[in-house]
Structure 1
Amino acid sequence: MIQFIETKKENLIAAKLSGKLNEENLKTIHKQIHRIIDKGHKVDFYFEMEDFEGYTLKGFWEDIKTDAAHIDDYGKMAFVGEKKWQEWAAKATDFFTSSEVKYFDLKDKEQAKIWIAE
Protein backbone atom coordinates (compact mmCIF):
# COMPACT_ATOMS: atom_id res chain seq x y z
CA MET A 1 0.00 0.00 0.00
CA ILE A 2 1.16 3.52 -0.75
CA GLN A 3 0.09 6.54 1.26
CA PHE A 4 1.48 9.72 -0.29
CA ILE A 5 2.78 12.40 2.08
CA GLU A 6 2.18 16.07 1.31
CA THR A 7 5.37 18.01 0.73
CA LYS A 8 6.34 21.54 -0.25
CA LYS A 9 9.23 20.39 -2.42
CA GLU A 10 8.01 20.37 -6.03
CA ASN A 11 10.25 17.54 -7.24
CA LEU A 12 9.80 15.20 -4.25
CA ILE A 13 7.71 12.04 -4.17
CA ALA A 14 7.16 11.21 -0.50
CA ALA A 15 5.20 8.16 0.61
CA LYS A 16 4.66 5.67 3.39
CA LEU A 17 4.93 2.10 2.14
CA SER A 18 3.36 -0.87 3.89
CA GLY A 19 2.33 -4.40 3.01
CA LYS A 20 3.22 -5.51 -0.53
CA LEU A 21 3.32 -3.10 -3.46
CA ASN A 22 1.52 -4.27 -6.57
CA GLU A 23 1.58 -3.24 -10.22
CA GLU A 24 -1.07 -0.54 -9.75
CA ASN A 25 0.88 0.99 -6.85
CA LEU A 26 3.96 1.29 -9.05
CA LYS A 27 1.99 2.74 -11.96
CA THR A 28 0.75 5.46 -9.57
CA ILE A 29 4.35 6.32 -8.66
CA HIS A 30 5.30 6.26 -12.36
CA LYS A 31 2.64 8.93 -13.06
CA GLN A 32 4.13 11.07 -10.29
CA ILE A 33 7.59 10.66 -11.82
CA HIS A 34 6.30 11.93 -15.18
CA ARG A 35 4.56 14.87 -13.51
CA ILE A 36 7.94 15.99 -12.16
CA ILE A 37 10.21 15.27 -15.13
CA ASP A 38 7.75 16.94 -17.51
CA LYS A 39 8.53 20.15 -15.55
CA GLY A 40 12.25 19.64 -16.20
CA HIS A 41 13.23 18.46 -12.70
CA LYS A 42 15.08 15.47 -11.32
CA VAL A 43 12.88 13.33 -9.07
CA ASP A 44 13.73 13.01 -5.36
CA PHE A 45 12.20 10.24 -3.26
CA TYR A 46 11.37 9.82 0.42
CA PHE A 47 10.07 6.33 1.18
CA GLU A 48 9.09 5.51 4.75
CA MET A 49 8.77 1.75 5.12
CA GLU A 50 6.82 0.50 8.11
CA ASP A 51 5.41 -3.04 8.02
CA PHE A 52 6.64 -3.09 4.41
CA GLU A 53 6.92 -6.59 2.96
CA GLY A 54 8.21 -5.80 -0.54
CA TYR A 55 6.48 -6.38 -3.85
CA THR A 56 4.15 -8.75 -5.60
CA LEU A 57 5.82 -10.30 -8.65
CA LYS A 58 4.03 -7.93 -11.06
CA GLY A 59 4.80 -5.00 -8.76
CA PHE A 60 8.49 -5.89 -8.74
CA TRP A 61 8.52 -6.14 -12.54
CA GLU A 62 6.79 -2.76 -12.87
CA ASP A 63 9.36 -1.21 -10.51
CA ILE A 64 12.25 -2.59 -12.57
CA LYS A 65 10.72 -1.26 -15.82
CA THR A 66 10.11 2.19 -14.31
CA ASP A 67 13.61 2.42 -12.85
CA ALA A 68 15.22 1.27 -16.11
CA ALA A 69 13.30 3.94 -18.04
CA HIS A 70 13.99 6.78 -15.59
CA ILE A 71 17.20 6.02 -13.72
CA ASP A 72 18.84 9.18 -15.12
CA ASP A 73 15.84 11.25 -13.98
CA TYR A 74 16.37 10.47 -10.29
CA GLY A 75 17.99 12.81 -7.77
CA LYS A 76 18.24 12.14 -4.06
CA MET A 77 16.63 9.11 -2.43
CA ALA A 78 15.90 8.67 1.27
CA PHE A 79 14.86 5.19 2.38
CA VAL A 80 13.55 5.03 5.94
CA GLY A 81 12.99 1.55 7.29
CA GLU A 82 13.00 -0.93 10.10
CA LYS A 83 14.56 -4.07 8.63
CA LYS A 84 18.07 -5.03 7.57
CA TRP A 85 16.94 -6.13 4.09
CA GLN A 86 15.58 -2.61 3.51
CA GLU A 87 19.00 -1.17 4.28
CA TRP A 88 20.58 -3.66 1.86
CA ALA A 89 18.04 -2.70 -0.82
CA ALA A 90 18.98 0.97 -0.37
CA LYS A 91 22.68 0.09 -0.72
CA ALA A 92 21.93 -1.90 -3.88
CA THR A 93 20.01 1.08 -5.29
CA ASP A 94 22.99 3.31 -4.52
CA PHE A 95 25.26 0.90 -6.41
CA PHE A 96 23.11 0.92 -9.58
CA THR A 97 22.40 4.64 -9.81
CA SER A 98 24.29 7.90 -9.83
CA SER A 99 21.71 9.30 -7.40
CA GLU A 100 22.60 10.19 -3.83
CA VAL A 101 20.97 7.43 -1.76
CA LYS A 102 20.80 7.22 2.03
CA TYR A 103 19.17 4.77 4.40
CA PHE A 104 17.79 5.90 7.76
CA ASP A 105 16.36 3.84 10.59
CA LEU A 106 12.69 4.52 11.26
CA LYS A 107 13.59 6.25 14.53
CA ASP A 108 15.65 8.76 12.48
CA LYS A 109 12.90 9.72 10.03
CA GLU A 110 13.00 13.40 11.00
CA GLN A 111 16.69 13.50 10.08
CA ALA A 112 15.79 11.86 6.75
CA LYS A 113 13.13 14.50 6.08
CA ILE A 114 15.65 17.27 6.72
CA TRP A 115 18.22 15.64 4.43
CA ILE A 116 15.82 15.09 1.53
CA ALA A 117 14.49 18.67 1.79
CA GLU A 118 17.96 20.21 1.33
Structure 2
Amino acid sequence: MGEDGILRVTVTGTVSQSDIEQFAEQFEKAASDQEKVRMLIELKDFEGWDFKGLWADLRFDVSHQDQMERIAILGDKRWEDWGTALSDPFFKAELKFFETDERAAAEAWLQA
Protein backbone atom coordinates (compact mmCIF):
# COMPACT_ATOMS: atom_id res chain seq x y z
CA MET A 1 0.00 0.00 0.00
CA GLY A 2 1.39 3.36 -1.00
CA GLU A 3 1.51 6.38 1.27
CA ASP A 4 -1.34 7.79 -0.78
CA GLY A 5 -3.62 4.92 0.31
CA ILE A 6 -3.62 3.19 -3.08
CA LEU A 7 -3.01 -0.56 -3.31
CA ARG A 8 -0.84 -1.16 -6.38
CA VAL A 9 -0.79 -4.58 -8.01
CA THR A 10 1.13 -5.71 -11.08
CA VAL A 11 -0.33 -8.67 -12.95
CA THR A 12 1.81 -10.64 -15.40
CA GLY A 13 1.38 -13.84 -17.35
CA THR A 14 -1.50 -16.17 -16.53
CA VAL A 15 -3.26 -15.62 -13.20
CA SER A 16 -3.65 -18.75 -11.08
CA GLN A 17 -5.54 -19.56 -7.90
CA SER A 18 -2.35 -19.12 -5.84
CA ASP A 19 -1.87 -15.65 -7.38
CA ILE A 20 -5.36 -14.68 -6.21
CA GLU A 21 -4.65 -16.09 -2.74
CA GLN A 22 -1.46 -13.99 -2.48
CA PHE A 23 -3.33 -10.91 -3.66
CA ALA A 24 -6.12 -11.58 -1.15
CA GLU A 25 -3.57 -11.35 1.68
CA GLN A 26 -2.40 -7.94 0.43
CA PHE A 27 -5.97 -6.77 0.01
CA GLU A 28 -7.02 -7.93 3.50
CA LYS A 29 -4.17 -5.93 5.04
CA ALA A 30 -5.12 -2.85 3.03
CA ALA A 31 -8.80 -3.26 3.95
CA SER A 32 -7.91 -3.48 7.63
CA ASP A 33 -6.13 -0.10 7.38
CA GLN A 34 -8.96 1.77 5.67
CA GLU A 35 -12.69 1.36 5.15
CA LYS A 36 -12.65 1.33 1.33
CA VAL A 37 -9.71 0.31 -0.85
CA ARG A 38 -8.61 2.07 -4.01
CA MET A 39 -6.48 -0.02 -6.35
CA LEU A 40 -4.25 0.44 -9.36
CA ILE A 41 -3.98 -2.85 -11.25
CA GLU A 42 -1.25 -2.79 -13.87
CA LEU A 43 -1.38 -5.48 -16.56
CA LYS A 44 2.09 -6.31 -17.94
CA ASP A 45 2.32 -9.13 -20.48
CA PHE A 46 -1.02 -10.28 -19.07
CA GLU A 47 -2.33 -13.47 -20.69
CA GLY A 48 -5.56 -13.98 -18.72
CA TRP A 49 -6.51 -16.53 -16.10
CA ASP A 50 -6.35 -20.28 -15.86
CA PHE A 51 -9.71 -21.83 -14.90
CA LYS A 52 -9.03 -22.04 -11.14
CA GLY A 53 -7.58 -18.52 -11.19
CA LEU A 54 -10.66 -17.09 -12.89
CA TRP A 55 -12.98 -18.85 -10.47
CA ALA A 56 -10.94 -17.68 -7.45
CA ASP A 57 -10.89 -14.12 -8.84
CA LEU A 58 -14.67 -14.03 -9.31
CA ARG A 59 -15.27 -15.44 -5.80
CA PHE A 60 -12.89 -12.84 -4.36
CA ASP A 61 -14.62 -10.01 -6.24
CA VAL A 62 -18.07 -11.04 -5.02
CA SER A 63 -17.04 -11.49 -1.40
CA HIS A 64 -15.02 -8.24 -1.19
CA GLN A 65 -17.00 -5.88 -3.41
CA ASP A 66 -18.20 -3.78 -0.46
CA GLN A 67 -14.59 -3.04 0.50
CA MET A 68 -13.60 -1.69 -2.93
CA GLU A 69 -14.09 1.96 -3.81
CA ARG A 70 -12.25 2.67 -7.07
CA ILE A 71 -10.20 0.44 -9.33
CA ALA A 72 -8.02 1.76 -12.13
CA ILE A 73 -6.77 -0.84 -14.59
CA LEU A 74 -3.68 0.16 -16.52
CA GLY A 75 -2.85 -1.95 -19.53
CA ASP A 76 -3.29 -3.06 -23.11
CA LYS A 77 -6.57 -1.87 -24.64
CA ARG A 78 -7.47 -5.40 -25.79
CA TRP A 79 -8.34 -6.36 -22.21
CA GLU A 80 -10.65 -3.40 -21.56
CA ASP A 81 -13.94 -4.71 -22.99
CA TRP A 82 -13.39 -8.29 -21.89
CA GLY A 83 -12.29 -7.47 -18.35
CA THR A 84 -14.85 -4.80 -17.59
CA ALA A 85 -17.71 -6.83 -19.08
CA LEU A 86 -16.73 -9.84 -16.97
CA SER A 87 -16.50 -7.89 -13.73
CA ASP A 88 -19.42 -5.44 -14.16
CA PRO A 89 -22.06 -7.74 -12.64
CA PHE A 90 -19.87 -8.29 -9.58
CA PHE A 91 -18.54 -4.81 -8.83
CA LYS A 92 -20.07 -2.01 -6.86
CA ALA A 93 -16.76 -0.15 -7.07
CA GLU A 94 -16.05 2.37 -9.79
CA LEU A 95 -13.90 0.68 -12.42
CA LYS A 96 -12.02 2.55 -15.13
CA PHE A 97 -9.55 1.36 -17.75
CA PHE A 98 -6.47 3.36 -18.78
CA GLU A 99 -3.96 2.74 -21.57
CA THR A 100 -0.45 1.77 -20.47
CA ASP A 101 0.89 5.30 -21.06
CA GLU A 102 -1.89 6.93 -18.97
CA ARG A 103 -0.45 6.19 -15.52
CA ALA A 104 -0.68 9.85 -14.39
CA ALA A 105 -4.36 10.02 -15.38
CA ALA A 106 -5.08 6.73 -13.58
CA GLU A 107 -3.36 7.95 -10.40
CA ALA A 108 -5.22 11.27 -10.54
CA TRP A 109 -8.57 9.54 -11.02
CA LEU A 110 -7.91 7.26 -8.03
CA GLN A 111 -7.07 10.23 -5.83
CA ALA A 112 -10.03 12.37 -6.93
TM-score, scaled relative to structure 2? 0.85
The aligned amino acid for 1:71 is Q
Tell me, yes or no, if structure 1 residue 7 matches structure 2 residue 2: yes
Corresponding residue of 1:116 = 110
- Are the equivalent residues in 2 in contact too, given 1:79–1:90 (CA < 8 A)? no
Q: 1:35 to 1:99 in 2, by over 3 A?
A: same
Q: Which runs of 5+ in 2 are unaligned?
A: none
Find the partner of 2:73 among 59, 75, 79: 79
Aligned-pair identity (%): 24
TM-score, scaled relative to structure 1? 0.81
Give how far 1:91 is off.
4.7
Corresponding residue of 2:18 = 24
How many residue pairs were aligned? 111
Q: Which runs of 4+ in 1 moved over 4 A?
A: none
Q: Which runs of 5+ in 1 are unaligned?
A: 1-5
Corresponding residue of 2:48 = 54
Taking only aligned residues, the RMSD between alpha carbons, in angstroms, comes to 1.8
- Greater RCO, CA 8 A, separation 6+: 2
Give how far 1:45 is off.
1.2
